[in-house]
Structure 1
Amino acid sequence: MSDVFISYSKSRQKETKELAADIEARGFNVWWDTDMSPGEPFQDVISNELARARAVVVIWTPTSVASNWVKSEAGRALKRNVLIPVYTPDLNLDLIPPPFDVLHTELVTNRDAIFGALERLGIRPGETPLKPQPAPPSRRYALALVGASAAACALAAIPLLKGRVSGSDKPVRTFEIGSNTISAIVYTFAGNGILLGDWDGAISLRDIQNGSEVRRFDGHSHVVWSLAVLPDSHRIISGGDDGLLRLWDLANVHPIREFKGHSDEVWSVSLLAGQDKVLSASLDGTMKLWDLSTDIPIRTFNYGSRLLCAATTPDGKIAVSGANGAIQMWNVADGSRINVLKGFDGEITSVGALPDGKHVISAGVDGVIRLWELASTQEVAKFGANRKISAFGISPSGRTVIAGGEDAIVQLWNIRERRLMKSFNGHAAAVESVAISPDGRSAASGDRKSVVNIWNLEGTEWGI
């Protein structure tokens, strides 16, 4: 029984040998057909090893996409939910045969993605007996990277933080990205990568462990103001100062689609849960609802003055938009204005809906974070530090919010208790973007001097 079975074309033994060596160097048990003994019936041996392997890496090449053997092996791995598809750089991705063409597929050279996929499958080095020792097939297939969402992570899950750094107010990791302001930041769904938007119009996918650039996406003319990762985990949506939204696949540096309709900068994009739709907010005073399968807006919401932020409730029925001095509530279905939340001093820079679907939270230049009840439109709590808040992120549990400000400090607040839990120090310039990881265990922040800090949120008694 092996940890990893490698399916490949005989014409690409060099890449396969290098991959096998790298996987074995990490302590995994690897099988590919060079392990066969003379005289063994190859079809029976391969079938047996394939059936018992805990993960199957299929290398798509210009030759293997036409191989019935490779397609058969990939199909059997797919049925067992243990398939990890990769491809060589010389392959046209359009040639990957169905049904594998709908699965996100990484470059064979992206070892982090492969090792991360093994982690997601629950496979760790040293856990599998050597092949001479009989053992029943592993049943830990529940986290397999197969299907439109699970298979689609650009970087598979790597353990994010080694050990606990409970209570520390210093970053566990710092990356100096370049010379541009980090204007937008978001985690990948796997949580081991971050996407950064900057003032040059570029989006950079970075490894969370070392900050290295995995892929770069160029398309916006100047500032990338907003980013969001779609639930399928391999597509992202961006909004920029060129008034455009762009849809990207993390495996391709070129945009899938451009959305034109705003006449000014797009400062916010918000996904509608369970739907392939996005809401954009612009300085042109409008929000637009888009179906990602077409480039024509479904609906336009006219605010009347420039919009800096927008969000939707978890059920996708209500949208909230923030501008100067007020938050407006909208009916997403018909575009009608429901109500207005007032009580602000200056512009609202951030707004978000809590997971309970009953509350929204906002922040802005007055330095106050406010919690609102949607049903009554009443402010039920407020707290802050009298500093301009540039960006915030809400935890997956909805219990805490992390906020970055002009004073270069990042703060973690308990929402319901209105209590400052931790101040994080590590930036030397104003913080322009923040995000909390999907598992709630870390946060990332970017500043005007192109520094990204990773913070440990474990041990802060907030729950996830």
Structure 2
Amino acid sequence: MKFAYRFSNLLGAVYRQGNLNFSQDGNAVISPVGNRVSVFDLKNNTSETLPVSTTKNITCVGLSPDRHLAIVVDEDGAALLVSLITRAVLHHFHFHKPVNSIRFSPDGRKFVVTKENVALMYHAPGKQREFNAFVLDKSYYGPYDETTCIDWTDDSKCFVVGSKDMSTWVFGAERWANLIYYSLGGHKDVIVGCFFEKDSLDLYTVSQDGTLCVWESDTELDGLVLMKSRDKPKPSRPGEEEGDEEERLEGEEGEVIRGKAEAPKGKNTKNVRYKHFFNKEGDFNNLTAAAYHKPTHILVTGFASGIFHLHELPEFNLIHSLSISDQRIASVAINSSGDWIGFGCSGMGQLLVWEWQSESYVFKQQGHFNNMASLAYSPDGQYVVTGGDDGKVKVWNTNSGLCFVTFTEHTSSITNVTFTSSGFVIVSASLDGTVRAFDLHRYRNFRTFTSPRPAQFSSLAVDKSGELVSAGAQDSFEIFLWSMQTGRLLEVLGGHEGPVSCLCFSPVQSILASASWDRTVRLWDMLDSWQVKETLSLTSDGLSVTYRPDGQELAVATLNGEISFWNPHTATQTGSVAGRHDLEMGRKETDKITAKQSAKGKSFTSLCYSADGESILAGGQSKFVCIYNIKEQMLMKKFEISCNLSFDAMEEFLDRRKMTEFGSLALVDEGAGDGEGVNISLPGVKKGDMSSRHFKPEIRVSSLRFSPTGRSWAATTTEGLLVYSLDGSMVFDPYDLDLDVTPASIRKQLRLQEWASAIVLAFRLNEKALKQEVLETVPHEQIPVICGSLPDIYVEKLLGFVAASLEKSGHLQFYMTWAQSLLMLHGQNLKNRSATFTCAPTEPWHPNSNQVHYCKCVCSVYRCDFNMYNIRYAVALSKQRGVKRAAEEDERREEEEEEEKDGDDGDDGLSEEMSEASIGDAEMVL
């Protein structure tokens, strides 16, 4: 069995906190989810989580204008420069303080970061080659409190910064003679958004109390005059003025601009022309988020009550108003065309995209409000069902990563969910005392199973036929059996002396295994009067039990951290694994003991066999998931499901710098963690309300399942539903498949040296490893012959595979030979199929340009712009070599002429003789 599982996707969570962004074409939403970033494709209805993660929850994301680069910043100010094309981390940086907002200039040359009361302008990475990707250009001081928002003018000459001190500051990106800085007042609350008008210095500012100010400038953007170098004042340094406070980061240098509360005299002025007020219905209706679309002049504002407004500026005409949630709207974003508006609600974990012209939802997703408790794969592996502590049952599509149905009939936490063998019925157990069955054809709850006396069901199992439904109670220690057809209670099984923690039906026999806290596992015969067939004695409380896929073995996880394996026919133990040391628990902030001592009380709470039955997957109250080999009884691999330090119990040792004589600083509660604050705080409270409740969730794994194909597995964790797979894309995607297309028949063709037939069969089966094996077996001298005999449809598929192999394979010349032969023989046909392969119409198609057109084919296959830079580099290098070669040729010609001139001066007769001889030789050659 292979163990090279990698993180594939994150389901069950679509938005946590931070700002939303749209892609360049406006068809995708980029949303921060915890310490990861997810991309939701609105046209193809798919989701993808980038394989990058920060050390803490993400607070803000800044995208370059071309949407190729993203700067992701977490709660501590640690930043990652991420390529959205290659999905790779390009650079690490630390701002040393929490960052409130980040914004690139429209020309992509600069970006501004606001932290505390300072705005820092950096040179954007990628525009020039630097050892450090983040080079500080200028530091702008002006506000007296934390900065909140940023906006740039369209020509990137100026930017504006809003602050919590109710002031707005306009700064020049360069040293303009008539605009260095400008301070704007007039608001009575925190500035939420500030926006420049299109191609103008006119400004809109929005504050938290629902006030909109329209500012007009008497200077146009074209009227800004660059200050001469001799007029530039010297940058101030620490200690020059009394009271100056300036922080310089290591290795950074930049010009410091300090603004005063009043505007410079004699400079351009801004005046408030209009002041508008949003309708308020109470103190809870604070304005929390705003976005402005410059081409259409539409302002979108979100409020704490879940209402949003659309206004047309500067007339302040109300276009649209709607209540989308009962929770606070944390982020608002508008796409490039202005048709779609994205909303993020951190309280409920909602992500909505609203099309305001048709007044309809384009995208509407919400994760589980609290922790996930259980998951189950459908028999075909296409769907995953999850149950959470919020009482909701959600069904997710594994291909798209999106939820397509939510059942809300339960009134309390879900403890277990499962599919029936048909794959069209979902059964869920809850603490509300009911077991419900849901139909995936009609999306309704068609069965509700209850007990004679109210009971809280903590475990659930459905037999192979789908007829028997069993649930275990954690308060009455009984197991209830119902009929799926009639919905009637068939039997109540008693005998356990503790809560029933887990149930599992045998896949080959009508036998039910139940694990309990009374240190026993009981095997119940469903065909023989519901009697106990065997009783397995455990060394500790039973937490989880599962059957091997062939039904010949039973695995039990106990409270002492062991996994024991039993033969269900002979009731004998066949082996055990001590996994307590593999959990490696971290130390919680409230623990009085070390992590090593705390780990002695931890254990596995979920088990799952692999498809072949040779390995078992185990997880519990830890950030690690372990895979054990059953036969060898040893650990094969450990997976760290999260590195997010925003969760509790992540670090093994507490930070001594946070320890005081009164205890850890982490125990000091600063109130609600959503940043919305309170209207009336208690006297003497510096930040937030000490009566509000705030906690750090503890990282843990509540449920694990292998997919039916065995190519992936999923885990419900505190972070969400994590999917790990062996492949990043679809594994089995055959083309024109029949019974004769098998790996054995393909290798038979290779042995017979039928190369073309083997290639066609391999591309019909469409397995990457097999295609690579066939291509690399072909002798290089046979490549032109094989390329000439391939059908056109397989030429396209082969060229795409060769292009992919060139990116990673070390056999560069071998695959370049394939590419050259394909383009030389099928170039005209590929040119005519412009829908798949794009070639420049201005350039003729001839053999001398096949390399250029090959690179363009690679670009069209991958839709990757980076290859264009390789083309430009190759062209520039060839031009440089051509210029160098021409210069050498001119220099050589000049030397020959000088030598001939010297020879002419020495002996004219000899030179004439030689010239006549050379002319004669030339005539003979001609």
In the TM superposition, what is the alpha-carbon distance from 1:316 to its structure 2 partner? 3.6
CA distance in 2, matches of 1:440, 1:210: 19
Q: Is the 8 A contact 1:322 1:351 kept in 2?
A: yes
Shift of 1:340: 5.1
Q: What letter is aligned with 1:391?
A: S
Do the aligned residues in 1 keep the contact of 2:7 with 2:723 (CA within 8 Å)?
no
Give the structure 1 partner of residue 488 of structure 2. Answer: 296
Q: Which runs of 5+ in 2 are unaligned?
A: 14-366, 581-601, 643-697, 729-926
**1:251 aligned residue (441, 445, 456):** 441
Deviation at 1:206, TM superposition (A): 1.2
Q: Tell whether the 8 Å contact from 2:11 to 2:402 is kept in structure 1 after alignment.
A: no
What's the CA shift for 1:166? Answer: 6.0
Q: Of residues 268, 277, 281 in structure 1, which corresponds to 2:459?
A: 268
1:307 and 1:457 mapped to 2: Cα distance? 37
Q: Counterpart of 1:450 in structure 2: which amino acid?
A: G
CA 1:375–1:178: 2 relative to 1, 3 Å: closer
- Over 3 Å counting, the alpha-carbon distance change for 1:331 and 1:228 in structure 2 is same
Report deviation, 1:242.
1.2
Structure 1 runs of 4+ off > 4 angstroms?
Answer: 168-175, 339-343
**Post-superposition offset of 1:275:** 4.7
How big is the shift at 1:268? 2.0
- Name the residue aligned to 1:441: 711
Question: Offset at 1:443?
Answer: 0.4
Paired with 1:215 and 1:421, the residues of 2 have a C-alpha distance of 37
Report which structure shows greater RCO (CA 8 Å, sep ≥6).
Answer: 1
Cα contact 1:394–1:401 (8 A) shared by 2: yes
Q: Which amino acid aligns with 1:404?
A: G
Distance in 2, Cα, partners of 1:243 & 1:396: 33
- Select which of 506, 520, 526 maps to 1:313: 506
> Is the Cα–Cα contact under 8 Å of residues 6 and 724 in structure 2 kept in the other structure?
no
Q: 1:344 aligns with which of 526, 538, 541?
A: 538
Aligned to 2:720: 450
The aligned runs of 1:31-430 (5 Å cut-off) are 167-168=4-5, 170-171=7-8, 173=10, 176=13, 177-261=367-451, 263-283=454-474, 284-304=476-496, 305-324=498-517, 325-338=519-532, 341-386=535-580, 387-427=602-642, 429-430=699-700
- Distance between the aligned counterparts of 1:422 and 1:452, measured in 2? 17
Deviation digits for residues 255-308 of structure 1 (CA, Å, limit 9, x no counterpart): 011011163222222222235222222212111222101121112211333211
Deviations 1:441-461 (A, max 9, x none): 110001134353434399xxx
Residue 255 of structure 1 aligns to a residue whose secondary structure is: strand
**Structure 1 regions of 5+ residues with no counterpart?**
1-164, 459-464
Contact 1:230–1:271 (CA under 8 A) maintained in structure 2: yes
CA distance in 2, matches of 1:175, 1:375: 40
Tell me the CA shift for residue 178 of structure 1. Answer: 4.3
The AA in structure 2 aligned to 1:189 is: P
Distance apart, 1:207 and its partner CA: 2.0
Partner-residue secondary structure (3-state), 2:464: coil
Deviation, structure 1 residue 347: 2.5
Amino acid at match of 2:390: D
Mark the CA change 1:173 to 1:448 in structure 2 (over 3 Å): closer, same or farther: closer
Distance 2:550 2:399 in 1: 32
- The answer on whether the counterparts of 2:549 and 2:609 sit within 8 Å (CA) in structure 1 is no
Alignment deviations for residues 133-184 of structure 1 (CA, whole Å, 9 cap, x no partner): xxxxxxxxxxxxxxxxxxxxxxxxxxxxxxxx96245455565334411101
The separation in 2 between residues aligned to 1:457 and 1:374, in whole angstroms, is 35
Distance change >3 Å, CA 252–CA 366, structure 1 → 2: farther
Secondary structure (helix, strand or coil) at the match of 1:197 reads strand
RMSD: 2.4
Contact 1:169 1:425 in 2 (8 A): no
Contact 2:421 2:466 in 1 (8 A): no
TM-score after normalising by structure 2: 0.30
Give CA-to-partner distance per residue, 1:113-150, whole Å, 9 cap, x none.
Answer: xxxxxxxxxxxxxxxxxxxxxxxxxxxxxxxxxxxxxx
Cα displacement string for residues 306-356 of structure 1 (whole angstroms, at most 9, x for unaligned residues): 211111222343221111211112221244543554453442121112233
Count of residue pairs the alignment pairs up: 294
1: CA distance, partners of 2:508 / 2:4: 35
Check 1:384–1:263 CA distance in 2 against 1; reply closer, same or farther (3 A cut): farther
Letter of the 2:457 counterpart: V
2: CA distance between counterparts of 1:204 and 1:218? 9
Q: Distance in 1 between matches of 2:11 and 2:578?
A: 26
TM-score by length of 1: 0.59
